C-alpha cells in the first residue's frame, strides 16, 4: 500500500506553520474548541501553531513529552486532508484520534470508551485514495495494545472491537439498511465518521494511528451527551490518549 504521489512543488494547503512547529506525536479531536480545551487544561507551554479555517493546532508538552493537539473536523474527507498533510509535509509519526461515537450494542453504556481494533466502511475512500478496493482498515497494533494496557492500569470502562465509519450522521438517516449490509463476521461496537480514513492513510505512509472513542449516544438508549458535555466532559478519553504516549 503506497501513499499517492504529490508534486514536489506542492505545499500544505490547510496547515500554515513551520515543520518544526508540529510535534512527531499528534492527538486529534474532531472539534477545534476541544483542541483548545486540551491545550489549555493539559499541556504546558502550549502555543497556537495553526488556525487556517479555524482548525486549531497547539504544540506544547505533556509530562515532558512534546506533542501537538490538532482538530480534524468531521467526516473522512476532512480527517484525510489533515492526516495526509501531517504525515507527508510535517513528518508526524503517530496520530491518536480522540472522538465520539454512537453505540451499536446494547451492553455498551454512555459514556463508555471504545478502542477501535478495526474500522469498516461501505465507502470507496480507499479506492479513490490509492486504488485499494478494501473496506476494512486497521490501526497500528502496538500503539493500540499500549492504549489498552494503559486503560487497564487506569481502571477505565472500555470495549475493544470494530467500529463502522459512515458517510452520514447515523441519527439523521435511516442507517438500519446500512447495518443490514455489514458482513456477518464483523460485530460492530459503534459508529462514527473518521477512523477508516485515518487508519488507511497512516498505513499508506507506514506510520502509526489509533482511535479512542467516547460513547455519547446509543440506538438502545434515550440518553445522550449535549454539545457542551461533548466539548468538556471527555477527560477520561483525553488523559488516556495523553498517558498512552508516555
Which residue among 21, 132, 217, 235 is the active-site one?
Answer: 217
Half-sphere exposure of 60 (CA within 13 A, CB side): 21
Say if residues 11 and 89 touch (Cβ distance below 8 Å).
yes
| DSSP SS3 for 44 | strand
Count CA atoms within 13 Å of residue 159 on its CB side: 24
Q: Is 109 one of the catalytic residues?
A: no
At 79, list the grid cell: 480527517
Contact (CB, 8 A) for 87 and 201: yes
Dist. CA 118–CA 195, nearest whole Å: 9
Distance CA 86, CA 19 (A): 9
73: left (phi over 0), alpha (psi -120 to 50) or beta: left
Residues taking part in catalysis: 217
Amino acid at each position: 500500500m503506497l501513499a499517492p504521489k504529490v508534486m514536489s512543488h506542492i505545499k500544505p494547503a490547510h496547515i500554515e506553520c513551520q515543520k518544526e512547529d508540529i510535534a512527531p506525536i499528534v492527538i486529534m479531536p474532531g472539534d477545534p474548541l476541544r483542541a483548545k480545551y486540551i491545550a489549555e487544561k493539559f499541556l504546558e507551554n502550549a502555543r497556537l501553531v495553526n488556525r487556517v479555517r479555524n482548525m486549531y493546532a497547539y504544540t506544547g508538552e505533556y509530562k515532558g513529552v512534546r506533542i501537538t493537539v490538532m482538530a480534524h473536523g468531521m467526516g473522512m474527507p476532512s480527517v484525510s486532508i489533515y492526516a495526509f498533510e501531517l504525515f507527508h509535509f510535517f513528518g508526524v509519526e503517530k496520530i491518536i484520534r480522540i472522538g465520539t461515537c454512537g453505540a451499536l450494542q446494547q451492553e455498551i453504556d454512555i459514556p463508555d470508551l471504545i478502542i477501535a481494533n478495526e474500522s469498516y466502511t461501505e465507502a470507496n475512500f480507499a479506492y479513490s485514495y490509492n486504488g485499494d478496493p478494501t473496506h476494512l482498515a486497521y490501526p497500528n497494533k502496538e500503539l493500540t495494545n499500549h492504549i489498552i494496557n494503559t486503560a487497564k492500569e487506569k481502571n477505565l470502562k472500555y470495549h475493544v472491537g470494530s467500529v463502522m465509519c459512515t458517510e452520514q450522521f447515523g441519527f439523521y438517516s435511516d442507517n438500519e439498511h446500512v447495518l443490514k449490509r455489514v458482513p456477518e463476521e464483523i460485530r460492530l461496537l459503534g459508529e462514527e465518521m473518521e477512523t477508516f480514513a485515518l487508519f488507511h492513510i497512516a498505513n499508506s505512509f507506514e506510520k502509526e494511528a489509533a482511535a479512542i472513542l467516547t460513547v455519547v449516544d446509543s440506538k438502545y438508549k434515550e440518553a445522550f451527551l449535549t454539545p457542551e458535555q461533548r466539548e468538556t466532559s471527555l477527560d477520561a478519553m483525553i488523559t488516556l490518549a495523553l498517558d498512552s504516549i508516555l
